[in-house]
Amino acid sequence: MDLLQQTIGKIEELDQINMKEAETRLDQLVKPPKSLGRLEDIAIQLAGITKNIYPEVNNKKVIVMAADHGVYDEGVSSNPQNVTIIQTPLFPKGLTGVCAISRVSGAGVIAVDIGVKGNLPGDTGVISRKIKHGTDNMAKGPAMTRDEAIKSIEVGIEIANKEIANGVQLLGVGEMGIGNTTASTAILSVLAGVDPVEITGMGAGIGDGGIDHKAKVIDGAIKLNQPDPHDGIDILSKVGGLEIGGMAGVILAAAAKRIPIVVDGYISTAAALIAALIEPKSKEFMITSHVSPEPGAKKASELLGISPLMEMNMRLGEGSGAALVFPILESACSIIKRIATFDEAGMKI
């Protein structure tokens, strides 16, 4: 808990002076005012995050948190749960979707076993920070204890802090785990105050009972565990996931260290909502990459209050969307630095 509190205490507001200077320069560039749209907005945000109107985001990493979910036992997914333990070692080998995209965007990928059910071999290259072998079944009781929820957040903080200390300038969050749309939908249902049936989708594959059964499981878990909608840690512990806590920790650490953090899709947005509830100022450091076709994704983005950069009909997870938009952030840095102003070009307007 000490690490979490210390991290929260370091999160400040965006730097308004540098944001104003960045906006002024952008308005003076040899182009029609605001003609680069959201690229200009991102450049201003990055100036506020980094306290530098010429920010650099060349050193990029996606942190992928891997964990399993006890609620899988309720038949909410058609995929075998051992997919998690089979696929997680593929990240260090560069053989997953986010790895393929990161190869193009020039980003590194780090995989963390924060709660995979079963033991990975010791030589996989996956960072082992396992808290437990998946969450408990939230349909029978809390997914984890409050202490375990805090620990999951602090694991994310520790991993992010290490990467930032090694020079990372831009972070993205992603996840791996069967059953995590169930936990994410439960989190969103609690925070938005909506019936799970309105926001429950297929996920990576729906179980035999269909969407109605999945929604009923989520609704039952919420009614059984009674998570406090004003307490992010309570929600995480009652109906969340270890990988969701880990991603929330990465987000909070990035905000505390003034590093831009790119949120992936639906599950990552659930983690961002938890982080924002724990410390609202952390939202200012977030950039959301894309909106998933999951029914709850649009609601999650609206609740977070940050408009995603893309709509690509992607639902892979893993941080794939974050890796895909990294070049957009680099472009935002480039325009403010490399486009001449009218004065620099010797033009009078």
Q: What does 59-83 look like in DSSP terms, one character per residue? A: SEEEEEEEE--GGGGGS-BSS-TTH
Q: Three-class SS of residue 54?
A: coil
Q: Tell me, what DSSP letter sits at residue 157?
A: H
> In 3-state terms, what secondary structure has residue 171?
strand
What span, in angstroms and rounded, lies between the C-alpha atoms of 215 and 250? Answer: 29
| Residue in 43, 42, 21, 25 with CA at minimum distance from that of residue 33 | 25
Q: What order of strands is seen across the sheet that includes strand 261-263?
A: 127-128, 108-115, 60-67, 170-176, 261-263, 286-288
Angle of the 242-256 helix axis to the 232-239 helix axis, nearest 10: 150
What angle (nearest 5°) sits at the alpha carbon of residue 155, between those of residues 269 and 177?
50
- Taking the CA atoms of the chain, what radius of gyration do you get in angstroms? 20
CB 262 within 8 A of CB 170: yes
Q: Hey, what's the torsion of the CAs at 188, 260, 325, 66, to 10 degrees?
A: -50
Q: What is the dihedral of CA 207, 97, 328, 38, to 10 degrees?
A: -10
Tokens of 203: 């996920």
Cα separations (Å) of 278 from 93, 119, 233, 336?
Answer: 34, 31, 7, 33
Known catalytic residue: 318? yes
Rounded to whole angstroms, how far apart are CA atoms 252 and 246? Answer: 10
Q: Write down the catalytic residue from 12, 294, 318, 344.
A: 318
Give the C-alpha separation, 250 to 349, whole Å: 46
Catalytic residues: 318
